[in-house]
Amino acid sequence: MIRLLRSVSVRLALGYGAIFILSSFLLVGALWWRTAAYLDREVDAVILADAQAVGDRLHDFGLIGALETVRDRVAAESDEHAIYLLADPGLHALAGNLNAWPAQIAGGPGWYEIGLARNGKLHATRMIYAALPGGYRLLVGRDVQDRVAIRGTILGGLGWAVVIAILLAIGGGLLIRRAVLRQVEAINRATAAIVRGDLARRLPTRDSTDEFDQLSQTINGMLGQIQILIEGVRNASNTVAHDLRTPLAELRNRLEELLRRRPPPEEAWTEVQGAVGDLDRVIGVFNALLRLADIDSGARLSGFRAVRLDTVAGEVAELYGPVAEAKGSDLAFDPPSDAVTVQGDPDLLAQAISNLVDNAVKFTPAGGRVALAVTRDADGGAKVRVTDSGPGIADSEKAEVVRRFYRGDAGKGKSGVGLGLSVVAAVAKLHGGRLEFADGNPGLVATLILPATTAPGALPGPAS
Amino acid sequence: MKILVVEDNERVAQFVTKGLREAGHAVDHAATGRDGMFLAASEKYDVIVMDRMLPGGIDGLAIVETLRKTGNKTPILILSALAEVDDRIRGLRAGGDDYLTKPFAFGELAARLDALARRSQGTDPNAALEVADLKMDLLAHRVSRGGTPILLKPREFALLEFMMRHAGQVVTRTMLLEHVWEYHFDPQTNVVDVHISKLRQKIDAGFSPALLQTVRGVGYRLGAE
C-alpha cells in the first residue's frame, strides 16, 4: 500500500478523487441547507409565532382571550396541519383540536417531535410546549407528515448524488492515473533503453504543447547534447592517446637509446635537451586540454564583463603584425568606426582572436595577406572576421577543423598541437556565439560570431 | 637572496632548493605548512616559494593569508598543480605576488623569483631608466642610446621599459606576455621572439655592445655583459 502511495499517478488520482468527493459533499450540504432544512426552519418559525400570539392574548386579556384565540384559530381551519391545545394545570384540555394532552409530552416546556394518530393514521408532528402564567399549558404544532416525506425524497436524492460523485471520483481518478502512467511509462521505457546503451533512442513526441510532450522534447534535446558530448569524449580520448603517446614514445625511445648507447657527455646533453623539448610538447598539450576543460566547464562565466572587442582585436593585430612581417606577409586590421563592446572574458576573447590570426598567418604563404575586422551587427551582436589568402578549408573539412586535435592536410608538418580552433569554438560557445568558416576565393574567412550584449547572468551556459 | 621553499614533494623540493643554492641563494626548506608558517614568521626572507597543496589538507593560500594578516610583506610565489585561471586569481587575491603552475622550468622559477625580490626593493614609476648608454625618459616617453633618439611604438616602449626595470635579470617569454601584453595564455607561435628581435634591431643595431641578450631555453636579459 505504501509502495503504491509512492506512485505519483496514484497520488494524483487519490488527490483528484478526494477533492471531487469533498466538493460533492459541500454541494449536497448546501442543497440540504437550502431545501429540507429550510422547510424545517420555516415550520418552526410559524409554530413559534402562533404560540407567541396565544401567549400574548393570555397576557393581555387573560384566560378568556387565550381560549378565544385558540378556538378562533381552530374554527378558521386556515391551516389543516395546525395543532393547538390549551390545557389547565391538571392537563385537562380547555380548547384546541386535540382531544387530550398527548402522553408523549411529559417533560418540561420545549420542542417535541411526536407521532399522533390523525384521521386514523399516525402522522409526524412537531410541537412547542409552553408553560403559561397560572399553570396553564399551551401546545402549538404542525402536522409535518408531508414535510417528512419531502425530506425523505430530498435526502434520498442527495444520497444518490453522493454515491454517484464517489463513483465518478474513483473513475476519474483511475482515468487520470492511466493517462499519467501511459506518458510516464513511455518516458520510462525510452530512458531505460538509453541507459542500457541505446544512445540513438529518443522519446516519442507528438508535436503538441502539452507539458509531457514538452518534457519529452526537452529530454530529447538533452539526449542529443549528451550524444554529441560522448562522441566528443570518445574522439578526444582517441586523439589524446595518439597526440600524447607520440611525443611520449619519442621521449622514451630517446632516453632508452641514451642509456643503451652511453654516448660521450657532449652528445648526451644534446639528447637530454631534445628530451626536455619532447616533454615541453606533452606539457603544451596538457595545458591546452586543461584550458579547454576550463572553458567548457563554464567556470569562466563568473568573470564576464564588458569588453571592448575592437581594442582586444587591435592588440592581437599588433601582437601578430611583426610575425606576419617576418614572413613577408601583410596583416591588416580594419578598426570599426565605433566602439564594439561585448560581455565576455577579455583573456579568452584575446586568445580566440589570437588563435584565428595565428592560423591565418601560419597558413598564408609568404607575400600573402591577412585581414582582421571587427563589426557590429544590426541585431546588436558582434563579428570578428579573419580573412587570409591561404589554401582555405575544403567544405568537407569545415566541420572537422574545430574537433580536438584535428589536423587538416595543410596543417601536417606545421607547429601546434591541433587545438587552436577547438579553443576558438569553445570560447565562442561559452559566449553564446559560434565559429563559422567560409571560402574567401582564394583563402579562408573565419568568423567569430558573438551574440548581442546581455547581462552576464543571462548568458547561456556551455551545455545549452 | 634568502629564499624559503615550502613544498612537501621531496623531488620537487630538492630540485628547487638545489637549483637555487647553485645559483648562489641561501635556501631554507619546509616540508609542512606548520614548519613553513613558523620559518616565514620568524626569519626574514627576500622571497618565499609556497606550494598550494600541503600535507594534512593545509592550503598554502591559508598560510599566505595568515602571513599577510600579520603584516608580513615578503614577496610570495605560489606554486600549484592547479592551472585554472580562477585558481590563479584566487592565489593572487590571497596575497600571493606571482603564480606558477607545475610542471615548470627551473629557469622560469628563478627568473620570477629574481623579479619578485627586485620588485620588493621598489621602483619609482617616474624615474628615468638607464642601462649602459641606453636611456629611457618615462615622463617624456623618449628613448635614446648614446644620445641618438630611438623611435619606439607604444608596445615596444612598454616591452623595453619592462626589460630595463629588470635590467641584468633574466625575463621569460611568459613573464613578458603577462606583464607587457597582459595575456595569460600561450600564443601558438612564439610571437615574443619576433617582438624582441624587432626591438633588438632598434636598440642594438649600429651600437656596441649589444644589450638585449637571448638566454637560451629561458628568455632574455638586458644589460652589457
pLDDT tens sequence across A96-144: 888 888 888 877 888 888 888 877 788 888 888 888 887 888 888 888 8
Is A93 in the same domain as A22? Answer: no
Of B88, B119, B150, the position where a domain reaches its end is: B119
Q: Are residues A251 and A333 in the same domain?
A: no
Statement to judge: residues B215 and B150 lie in one domain: yes
Q: Are residues A315 and A388 in the same domain?
A: yes
- More confident of the two residues A337 and A239: A337
Contact criterion met (CB < 8 Å) for A350 and B183: yes
**Which of A259, A292, A325 marks a domain boundary?**
A292
- Identify the CATH number of the domain in which residue B80 sits: 3.40.50.2300
Residues B115 and B157 placed together within one structural domain of the fold:
no
A442 with A417, same domain? yes
Q: Chain A: nearest CA to B160, how far in angstroms? A: 15
Task: Kindly identify which residue of chain A lies nearest to residue B190, measuring between CA atoms.
Answer: A323
Residue A411 and residue A315 share a domain: yes
Report d(CA B63, CA B58) in Å as an integer.
8
Give, as one character, the DSSP assignment of residue A107.
S
Of the candidates A372, A355, A367, the one whose C-alpha atom is nearest the C-alpha of residue A292 is: A355
CA dist., res. A387 & res. A400, Å (int): 19
Q: Is residue B124 part of a domain?
A: no
Looking at residue B87, its pLDDT comes to 77
- Based on the fold, state whether residues A316 and A392 are members of the same structural domain: yes
Mean pLDDT of all residues belonging to chain A: 83
Peptide bond into A204 cis (omega under 30): no
Write the single-letter amino acid at B199: L
Q: Would residue A200 count as lying in a domain?
A: no
Q: What is the pLDDT of residue A460?
A: 44
Query: Which pLDDT belongs to residue B121?
Result: 52
Number of domains in chain B: 2
Does residue A226 register a pLDDT over 80? yes
Summarize pLDDT for A43-59 with one digit per residue, the tens.
889 888 888 888 888 88
CB atoms B181 and A319 under 8 Å: yes
Q: State which H helix or E strand residue A124 sits in.
A: strand A121-131
pLDDT classification of A416: cutoffs 50, 70, 90: low
pLDDT at A66: 83
Burial of residue A236, with CB atoms counted within 10 A of its CB: 0-12 exposed, 13-18 middle, 19 or more buried: middle
* Residue A51 CB burial class (10 angstroms; 0-12, 13-18, ≥19): buried
Q: Which of A241, A269, A292 is the last residue of a domain?
A: A292
Residue of B nearest to A299 (CA): B86
B41 and B94 inside one domain: yes
Give the closest residue to B191 by CA, choosing from A372, A412, A424, A358.
A358
Task: Give the mean model confidence (pLDDT) for residues A402-421.
Answer: 63
The pLDDT, as a whole number, for residue A108 is: 82
Task: Closest CB to B189: pick one of A283, A318, A362.
Answer: A362
The 3 state secondary structure assigned to chain B is CEEEEECCCHHHHHHHHHHHHHCCCEEEEECCHHHHHHHHHHCCCCEEEEECEEHHHEEHHHHHHHHHHCCCCCCEEEEECCCCHHHHHHHHHCCCCEEEECCCCHHHHHHHHHHHHHHCCCCCCCCCEEECCEEEECCCCEEEECCEEECCCHHHHHHHHHHHHCCCCEEEHHHHHHHHHCCCCCCCCCHHHHHHHHHHHHHHCCCCCCCEEEECCCEEEECCC
Instruction: Note whether B6 and B104 are same-domain residues.
Output: yes
Same domain for B115 and B11:
yes
pLDDT in tens, A339-385: 898 999 999 999 999 999 998 998 888 888 999 999 998 888 899 99
Residue B207: which domain range? Answer: 129-222
Residue A355: list chain B partners with CB under 8 A: 188
Structural domain count of chain A: 4
Best interface-test mutation with B: which of A354, A357, A423 has the largest number of B CBs within 10 A? A354
Q: How far is B7 from chain A (nearest CA, A)?
A: 21
Instruction: Give the pLDDT band (50/70/90) at residue A454.
Output: low
Q: Can you tell me the mean pLDDT for A439-450?
A: 88
Residue that finishes a domain, picked among A113, A143, A173: A143
Burial of A145 (0-12, 13-18, 19+ CB in 10 A): middle
**For chain A, how many helices (H) and strands (E)?**
10, 12
Q: Do B189 and A358 touch (CB under 8 A)?
A: yes
B8, B86: one domain = yes
CA distance B1 to B46: 6
Out of A7-21, A187-201, A231-245, A301-315, give the one with best mean pLDDT: A301-315
- pLDDT tens sequence across A66-106: 888 888 888 876 677 888 888 888 888 888 888 888 888 87
Residues A365 and A440 in one domain: yes
For residue B76, the cross-strand partners are B48
Return the residue of A nearest to B216 by Cα. A273
Residues A126, A218, single domain; the answer is no
The shortest CB-CB distance from B86 to any of A279, A299, A322 is to A299
Shared domain for A288 and A304, answered yes or no, is no
Q: Is the model more confident about B205 or about A5?
A: B205
Residues of A in contact with B155 (CB under 8 A): 318
- How far apart are alpha carbons A9 and B14 in whole angstroms? 66
Residues A238 and A317 in one domain: no
- Chosen for mutation from B80, B185, B216 (greatest number of chain A CBs closer than 10 Å) is B185
Same domain for B88 and B54:
yes
Q: What is the pTM of this model?
A: 0.66
Residues of B with CB under 8 A from a CB of A: 83-86, 89, 103, 153, 155, 181, 183-189, 191, 194-195, 198, 217
Contact call for residues A105 and A116 (beta carbons, < 8 A): no
Residue B114 lies in a domain: yes
Mutation to test the A interface, candidates B189, B190, B192, most A Cβ within 10 Å: B189
The domain boundary residue, chosen from B75, B95, B119 = B119
Q: Are residues B99 and B47 in the same domain?
A: yes
pLDDT at A456: 42
What is the percent of chain A where pLDDT is above 70? 92
Which pLDDT does position A461 carry in this prediction?
41
Residue with cell 618615462: B138
CA distance, residue A277 to nearest chain B CA (Å): 10
Q: Within this chain, do residues B77 and B10 fall inside the same structural domain, yes or no?
A: yes
Residues A373 and A423 in one domain: yes
| pLDDT surpasses 90 at A227 | no
Range of the domain at A261: 211-292
Contacts of residues A410-413 at CB distance under 8 Å and 24 or more positions apart, as own/partner, are A410/A363, A411/A363
- Give the pLDDT of chain B (225 residues) as one tens digit per residue: 899 999 988 899 999 999 999 999 999 999 988 889 889 989 999 999 999 887 766 788 889 999 999 999 899 999 888 766 667 888 888 889 999 988 888 999 999 999 998 765 556 666 788 898 999 998 888 999 998 999 999 999 999 999 998 989 999 999 999 999 999 888 878 899 999 999 999 999 888 889 999 998 889 999 876
Q: Is the pLDDT of residue A408 over 80?
A: no
Q: Is A197 within a domain?
A: no
CATH classification of the domain holding B215? 1.10.10.10
Q: So what's the ipTM on this one?
A: 0.86
Q: What is the pLDDT of residue A407?
A: 62
Same domain, B136 and B211: yes
Band (pLDDT 50/70/90 cuts) for residue A296 is confident
**Residues contacting residue A262 through CB under 8 Å, at least 6 positions apart:** A268
Domain boundary among B99, B119, B139: B119
Which CATH number covers residue A359?
A: 3.30.565.10
* pLDDT confidence of residue A463: 39
pLDDT (0 to 100) of residue A464: 34
Q: Which residue of A283, A323, A420 is in closest CB contact with B103?
A: A283
Question: What pLDDT score does B186 carry?
Answer: 83
Do B139 and B111 fall into the same domain? no
- Whether A354 sits inside 8 A of B155 (CB atoms) is no
CB contact under 8 A, B191 and A322: yes
Contact A351 B185 (CB under 8 A): yes
Phi, psi dihedrals of residue A307, rounded to the nearest 5°: -125, 130
A130 within some domain: yes
User: Are A371 and A275 in a shared domain?
Assistant: no
Stretch A178-200: mean pLDDT: 82
Q: Residue A453: what pLDDT?
A: 66
Same domain, B70 and B28: yes
Confirm if A392 and A446 have CB atoms less than 8 A apart.
no
Task: Flag whether A27 is in a domain.
Answer: yes
